[in-house]
Amino acid sequence: MAKETKTRSRSLHNKVSNGITYVVLIIMSIIWLFPFVGLVLQSFRSYATEYGGMVSYIIPKAFSLDNYTYLFSEECSFVRWYTNTLTIAFFVAILNTFMVLCVSFALSRSRFKGRKFLMQFWLILGMFPGFLTMICLYFLLKQFGLTQAGAIPGLILVTVASSGMQYYVCKGYLDTIPKALDESARIDGASNARIALTIILPLAKPIIIYTALTAFIAPWCDYVFASYVAFGYGDSYNVAVALTRWVWTNDYQGFYTRFCAGGVLVAIPVTILFMCLQKYYVEGVTGGAVKG
Amino acid sequence: MGKENKLSANVKRGLSNTGKDIKEIGATFTEGDWKAKLSFLVMGFGQLMHKQFLRGILFLAIEILFIYYMVSFGAQYLSKIGTLGTQATYTDKSGVIPVTVYGDNSFLILLYGILTIFVVVAFIYLWRVNVRQNRDIQKRLAAGRHLPTGKEDLHSLINENFHKTLLALPNIGVMVFIVIPIIFMICIAFTNYDAEHQPPSALFSWVGLVNFKNLFSLGSAGFGSTFFNVLAWTLVWAFFATFLNYFLGMGVAILINKKGIKFKKLWRTILVLTIAIPQFISLLYMYKMFANDGLVNNYLLKLGLIDAYIPFWANATYARILIILINIWIGIPYMMLMATGILMNIPEDLYESAKIDGANGFQMFMKITLPYMLFVTGPYLLTSYTGNLNNFNVIYLLTQGKPTSMSLTGGAGYTDLLITWLYKLTINDTNYRMAAVLGIMVFVVTAVISLVVYRILPSVKDEEGFQ
């Protein structure tokens, strides 16, 4: 008897606490989704019949594609900016992954003189704020004509050149691949390069995807250095620089809804890609946290 | 005490290594034949004479290139690095036609001077390798052993020396695009490079510690009070940004993982959207949402909850609180993902036995979940804190450091972090010298916190006793 009432009270207790949990989760979902829903809704507000700037309501009076047509029209370089960003993201994803893999494999698989020193040295270098060296990097790039008109290859170069320093997560993953695999291959007479390519590389697929994914997404948000290197040369902007300028300086001309439309177009492919590869991302994030 | 001993031991070892090095160089010279002796002057000579053509040609080429570099380029900059140039470029108007007279350029002298120092050091190192190889040749010949051929050398690059092949490119990249620029900027902190000293028309020069004094001077002209203001907010911000996200994210993960909650995947996906959508879009949207004429104010007005709009971004306190709140919006999903992964690793039987002992949910959290999480994510917390100290995007895209105030110097605002202030000093004020000093301070703060926390971390590890 007593036991029965206890289970009943416990199940009631569970129901109540689950109910509260659902309420919390639903409220959270609303808060988390609100900005994105607002972004999409406002991107459909008509520029011609309503207004492109700030208004006091969220749902447009009439839905129109005005803002999207503007983005693809002659007077706007949105397509250009989009291609710029895509180019940067594409090359950075490939080259960064290559660099990170090189460093990770060397540090994970080989024991050589100066290995500890190299890791500590890079750790200390990482403590300097990145923007400190901005003017120096700008000058270096300028020497090779890689600013303004040449900003796109310049940005790729700067990003890729130092990407070897972000090896932590990848090396941590490679460390978990048993060394016995290398040993047995070495007994069979395989060189280190062969071991790397035929044994480690296939096993490292999840972390390769993680590295490439994070490297691909980063350029879409790169505002600081991109705006500095492309300074005053509109054709070299990436989407982040261009759309940020719309919000900050052209807002009074009603560019706000155009920003929303551009934002939607940028967000869609990146989000789809991310969602498809989410599994690998979670793996990398969790692994990276545990390894530190 | 232990630390000092270790340090002195390190110094001793370093000195004895250098001593050994010099001794070995001497031995190579005295014991070597004429080929080895000539190699001291003509790099790669010994190697060439012993038919190690690949090595020989490479060393010879390096030496020729080095000499060419120094004569044609490096030496002139290196010689001026003490003064950073004496003659500015100016326009001579004494004649009928004004003539531009080109002088020195401090920027170039400093940058190329540093580059040349690097080249010289690298050359000395390679020279040392050259000498050691000659010593090795002598030894091997004396022992009647075989000398590696060029083909074998090349093969070693994909086998026993594979790490050198792999690290070559990343190392060069870091050297050129990180190390040299950082050293350059550290040097700038000791010069007067600012808006009034822009070469080539106005040279800058070494000024010693003046900029550092300026940063700490509390007078009206100094940066002192602003610096401490910004520093304090930076530390507070990083604290809230890290720990609020950490605990709230963990809480959300626990909520979603709770038994009996359905649509786990849906909840996660909704939150993960924030990570997927590029930050600049969501942040700029948020910035507009809370603007004076933004949605939030408009709806609050419509609902009659307020009479006049709330100046979210113009009021320092509101802006600071709002930034932290928005950062929670950004940070929770990330932490939620991570915590979900880690929470699944906690053995279920720990909870079972705790339940039998009559522990309630809160007790289980405090005794099992939290210690486990803290233990596993200790290093992450540290990197997350230092990352937040330098969290440029959130601050700059939301407020650009505003609201500014007359009581703050250097264009700083009440929501500025050290890093955004540094950026503004560089971009708006071209006050490179103070920006450089600030950059060094960011490094010092990051390094000190990292060191101190690392000392504490093992105590976190001890808590693993329950496992």
Q: pLDDT tens-digit profile of A6-50?
A: 666 767 877 888 889 899 999 999 999 999 999 999 899 887 777
Distance, CA of B425 to CA of B417 (rounded, Å):
12
A140 touches chain B (CB under 8 A): yes
Confidence band for B1, pLDDT divided at 50, 70 and 90: very low
Q: Is A282 on the interface with B (CB under 8 A)?
A: yes
Q: Which of B272, B294, B423 minimises the CB distance to A131?
A: B423
Rounded distance between C-alpha atoms, residue B342 and residue B349, angstroms: 16
Nearest residue, CB atoms, B280 vs list A135, A191, A240 = A240
Query: Is the confidence at residue A218, as pLDDT, over 60?
Result: yes
Nearest CA in chain A to B374: A290
Q: What is the 3-state secondary structure (H, E, C) of chain A?
A: CHHHHHHHHHHHHHHHHHHHHHHHHHHHHHHHHHHHHHHHHHHCECCCCCCCCCCCCCCCCCECCHHHHHHCCCCCCHHHHHHHHHHHHHHHHHHHHHHHHHHHHHHHHCCCCCHHHHHHHHHHHCCCCHHHHHHHHHHHHHHCCCCHHHHHHHHHHHHHHCHHHCCHHHHHHHHCCCHHHHHHHHHCCCCHHHHHHHHHHHHCHHHHHHHHHHHHHHHHHCCHHHHHHCCCCHHHCCHHHHHHHHHHCCHHHCCHHHHHHHHHHHHHHHHHHHHHCHHHHHHHHHHHHHHC
The token duo for B209 is 């510690």
Q: Which residues of B touch A135 (CB under 8 A)?
A: 185, 426, 432
**Mapped to the 3 state alphabet, what secondary structure does B362-418 carry?**
HHHHHHHHHHHHHHHHHHHHHHHHHHHHCCHHHHHHHCCCCCECCCCCCCCECCCCH
Residue found under tokens 């531009």? B100
Using left for φ > 0, alpha for ψ between -120 and 50, and beta otherwise, residue A120 falls in: alpha
**DSSP state at residue B234:** H
Cβ–Cβ < 8 Å for B38, B28: no
CB–CB of B221/B243 below 8 Å?
no
Kindly give, in sequence order, each residue whose CB lies less than 8 Å from that of residue B278, ignoring residues fewer than 6 positions away: A217, A220, A221, A240, A266, A267, A270
- Interchain CB contact of A286 with B (< 8 Å): yes
Pick the more confident residue, B24 or A210.
A210
Residue A84 has pLDDT above 90, yes or no: yes
pLDDT at B67: 95
Chain A's closest residue to B332, CA to CA, is A32
The Cα–Cα gap between A155 and A89 comes to: 10
pLDDT at B83: 84
- Least CB–CB distance from A135: residue in B170, B176, B426: B426
Name the residue among B47, B35, B14, B17 with its Cα closest to residue B126: B47
Chain A neighbors of B258, CB-CB under 8 A: 18, 21
Q: Is the pLDDT of residue A93 over 60?
A: yes
A220/B282 Cα distance (integer angstroms): 12
Q: What is the pLDDT of residues B138-189, one digit of tens each?
A: 888 888 888 888 888 888 888 888 999 999 999 999 999 999 999 999 999 9
- Residue B91 sits at φ, ψ, to 5 deg, of -105, 120
Confidence (pLDDT) at B463: 44
Q: How far apart are CA B130 and CA B39, in angstroms?
A: 8
Q: Touching check for A9 and chain B: CB below 8 Å?
A: no
Q: Which residue on chain A is closest to B167 by alpha carbon?
A: A103
CB-based contact A58:A246 (threshold 8 Å): no
Tokens 């080109």 -> residue: B102
The span from the CA of B452 to the CA of B27, in Å, is: 46
pLDDT of residue A133: 87
Indicate yes or no: CB of A223 within 8 angstroms of CB of B393.
yes
Nearest residue of A to residue B426, measured between CA atoms: A135
- The backbone torsions φ and ψ at residue A161, rounded to the nearest 5 degrees and listed phi first, read -55, -40
In chain A, what percentage of residues exceed pLDDT 70?
93
Hey, of A17, A25, A167, A259, which one would you mutate to test binding to chain B, going by the most B CBs within 10 A of its CB? A25
> B279-289 vs A256-276: helix axis angle to the nearest 10?
140
The partner residue sitting opposite B270, judged by closest CB among A29, A140, A288, is A29
**Taking CB atoms and an 8 Å cut-off, how many pairs form between chains A and B?**
254
Instruction: Tell me the mean pLDDT in the region B13-24.
Output: 82
Angle at which helix B162-174 crosses helix A115-125, to 10 degrees, equals 20
Let me know if B11 is exposed, middle or buried by CB neighbors in 10 A (0-12, 13-18, 19+).
exposed
Contact, A229 vs A138, CB < 8 A?
A: yes
Residue A63 β-bridge partners: A45
Give the separation between CA B130 and CA B124, rounded to whole angstroms.
10
Which chain B residues are Cβ-neighbours of A256 within 8 angstroms?
A: 288
What are the chain B neighbours of A243 within 8 Å (beta carbons)? 280-281, 284
Q: What is the C-alpha separation between A200 and A205, in angstroms, rounded?
A: 9
Q: How far is A116 from chain B (nearest CA, A)?
A: 14
Given a cut of 60, is residue B432 above it in pLDDT?
A: yes
- Per-residue confidence at B8, pLDDT binned at 50, 70, 90? confident
Question: B440 Cβ partners below 8 Å, 6+ apart?
Answer: B186, B189
Average pLDDT over chain A reads 87
Residue that wins the pLDDT comparison between A92 and A248? A92
Q: Is residue A101 a contact partner of residue A202, using CB atoms and an 8 Å limit?
A: no
Which residues in A lie closer than 8 A to residue B377 (C-beta atoms)? 289-290
What are A153's two structure tokens?
Answer: 């290859």
Per-residue pLDDT averaged across B96-104, rounded?
A: 81
Residue A5 confidence (pLDDT):
61
Give the pLDDT confidence score for residue B407 in this predicted structure.
76
Is the CB of A128 inside 8 Å of chain B's CB atoms? yes
| Cα B16 to Cα B4: distance, rounded to the nearest angstrom | 18
pLDDT in tens, A131-188: 888 888 988 898 888 888 888 999 999 999 989 999 988 988 898 888 898 889 989 8
**Which A residues in the span 51-90 are in contact with B, Cβ-Cβ below 8 Å?**
54, 56-58
Tokens of A277: 């590869």
Mean pLDDT of chain B: 86
Residue B105: its chain A contacts at CB < 8 A? none
How far is the alpha carbon of A32 from chain B, nearest alpha carbon, in Å? 7
- In tens, the pLDDT along B331-377 reads 999 899 888 888 888 888 888 888 888 888 788 888 888 888 888 88
Q: Answer for the pair A103, A167: CB distance below 8 angstroms, yes or no.
A: yes
List CB contacts (< 8 A) between A133 and chain B: 177-178, 181-182, 184-185
Residue B101 pairs with which residues in a beta bridge? B90
Pairwise CB contact (< 8 Å): B293 & A131:
no
B163 contact residues in A (CB cutoff 8 A) = 106, 109-110, 112, 192
| Alpha-carbon gap: A143 to the closest alpha carbon of chain B (Å) | 11
Can you say how many angstroms the Cα of residue B7 is from the centroid of all Cα atoms in its chain? 25
Q: Other C-beta atoms within 10 Å of B232: how many?
A: 10
Predicted pLDDT of residue B306: 85
A57-76 average pLDDT score: 86
Instruction: Report helix, strand or coil for B90.
Output: strand
Report the phi/psi class of residue A283: left, alpha or beta, with left for phi > 0 and alpha for psi in -120 to 50. Answer: alpha
**Considering only CB atoms, which chain A residues are within 8 Å of B418?**
129
Nearest to A267 among B180, B277, B338 (CB): B277
pLDDT band at B110 (very low <50, low <70, confident <90, very high): very high
CA A99, CA A167: separation in Å to the nearest integer?
A: 9
Residue B294, pLDDT above cutoff 90:
no
Q: Vertex A285, ends B323 and B285: CA angle to 5°?
A: 30
Give dist(CA B341, CA B359) in Å, integer. 24
- Quote the percentage of chain B above a pLDDT of 90: 31
Is the per-residue pLDDT at A3 higher than 60? Answer: no
Q: Looking at B50-90, list the stretches that DSSP marks H as alpha helix, in order from N- to C-terminal side.
A: 53-69, 75-80
Residue B289: list chain A partners with CB under 8 A. Answer: 35, 38
Residue type present at position B200:
P
pLDDT of residue B363: 85
- Give the closest of A161, A256, A278 to B288, CB-based: A256
3-state class (DSSP) for residue B276: helix
Residue range B391-429, pLDDT digits in tens: 888 999 898 888 887 777 777 888 999 999 999 888 888
Of B107, B379, B419, the CB nearest to A131: B419
In the three-class reduction of DSSP (H, G, I as helix; E, B as strand; rest coil), residue B100 is classed as strand
